[in-house]
């Protein structure tokens, strides 16, 4: 099978994990360039040892590399601020971009929810690690009963949060909250991230709370179970931590104040507890937040180039 050449911008934790993941599992993508700004970074050093062409001159250096015109797709794993500049430079080339920062220039994408409708987008945004873990669940519940409010809490080990993640905390909450509504379908959304300093480091945990109208416990559990199975096709460490909980709220329950609905007579609180274990491509297994971003980005990248291949064949 022929491969499509891609470049990765960002030689930190996420970019390096994505590099190793593509090299290990992808039969559709070939990393033709790995880009950073620190020539001594561990990511660039690893890439050079693996025989991947590198530059430490950022996006401008990428454009000067031999063979850039053969690159079909660029993954940006830098920061929200850096992506604004990178996308401006890349826009003139027409190359497609998968954005792993919270910049959200292009449409937000969560693979099992809306990837099929974004096959021709020039720039797609991977939301955040918390968004990739929780929005599929919000969307699954919303598919069987209107979600009037959804709140997600993403807890990650502080060891797995590199400089880029720490610099993007505000963007994380804003982008994830918006994606809960725009992609997940909730009438109102809220996102919280917790950097947990516990030792030994904790595996990524995600909690999803949905106020859903007219849902049954059986309907909630069936919808969530089906979505977990789907996500596990590309994130093998994604799993339910315990059985889905569904509780009908009484008319005087203070949680109903969060509910964006005039009629609040049939609202249930659905609580979903998730765990994401990493594949260990670059960081240890506790860094599920890193793994779900790179696994989802790889899935999106492969889907985009395969869509291009089918269109060309037709």
| Annotated binding-site ranges for NAD(+) | 11-14, 160-168, 289
Query: What is the spatial order of strands in the sheet that 29-35 belongs to?
Result: 54-55, 29-35, 4-9, 73-76, 96-99, 123-125
Which one of 129, 210, 246, 259 is the catalytic residue?
Answer: 129
Evaluate whether 73 touches 305 at the Cβ level (below 8 Å): yes
Report the C-alpha gap between 34 and 74 in whole angstroms.
Answer: 10
Which residues share a beta bridge with 96? 73
Asked if residue 232 lies in contact with residue 172, where contact means CB atoms within 8 angstroms, the answer is no
CA-wise closest residue to 183 among 240, 246, 226, 140: 140
Q: Which of 277, 295, 273 is nearest to 286 (CA)?
A: 277
Alpha-helical regions (H) of the chain: 13-25, 42-49, 58-64, 80-91, 111-114, 129-144, 163-167, 169-182, 217-231, 288-313
Whether 129 is a known active-site residue: answer yes
Distance separating alpha carbons of residues 71 and 78, to the nearest angstrom: 19
**Is omega for the bond preceding 33 within 30 degrees of 0, making it cis?**
no
- The set of catalytic residues is 129
């Amino acid at each position: 099978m022929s491969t499509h050449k891609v470049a990765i911008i960002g030689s930190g934790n996420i970019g390096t994990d994505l590099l190793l993941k593509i090299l290990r599992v992808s039969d559709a993508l070939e990393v033709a360039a790995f880009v950073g700004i620190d020539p001594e970074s561990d990511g660039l050093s690893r890439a050079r040892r693996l025989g991947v062409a590198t530059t430490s001159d950022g996006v401008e250096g990428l454009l000067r590399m031999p063979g850039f015109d053969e690159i079909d797709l660029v993954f940006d794993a830098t920061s929200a601020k850096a992506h604004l500049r990178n996308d401006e430079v890349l826009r003139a080339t027409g190359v497609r971009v998968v954005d792993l920062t919270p910049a959200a220039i292009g449409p937000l994408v969560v693979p099992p929810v809306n990837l099929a409708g974004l096959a021709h987008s020039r720039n797609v945004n991977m939301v955040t690690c918390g968004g990739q873990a929780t929005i599929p669940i919000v969307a699954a519940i919303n598919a069987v009963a209107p979600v009037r409010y959804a709140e997600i809490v993403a807890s990650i080990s502080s060891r797995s949060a590199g400089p880029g993640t720490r610099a993007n905390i505000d963007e994380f909450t804003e982008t994830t909250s918006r994606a809960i509504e725009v992609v997940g379908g909730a009438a109102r959304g809220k996102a919280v991230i917790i950097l947990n300093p516990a030792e030994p480091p904790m595996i990524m945990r995600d909690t999803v709370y949905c106020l859903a109208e007219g849902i049954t416990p059986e309907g909630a559990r069936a919808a969530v179970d089906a979505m977990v199975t789907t996500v596990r096709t590309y994130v093998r460490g994604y799993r339910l931590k315990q059985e889905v909980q569904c509780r009908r709220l009484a008319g005087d329950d203070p949680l109903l104040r969060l509910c964006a609905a005039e009629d609040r007579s049939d609202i249930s609180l659905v609580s979903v507890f998730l765990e994401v274990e990493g594949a260990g491509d670059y960081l240890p297994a506790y860094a599920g937040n890193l793994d779900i971003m790179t696994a989802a980005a790889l899935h999106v990248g492969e889907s985009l180039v395969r869509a291009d291949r089918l269109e060309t064949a037709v």
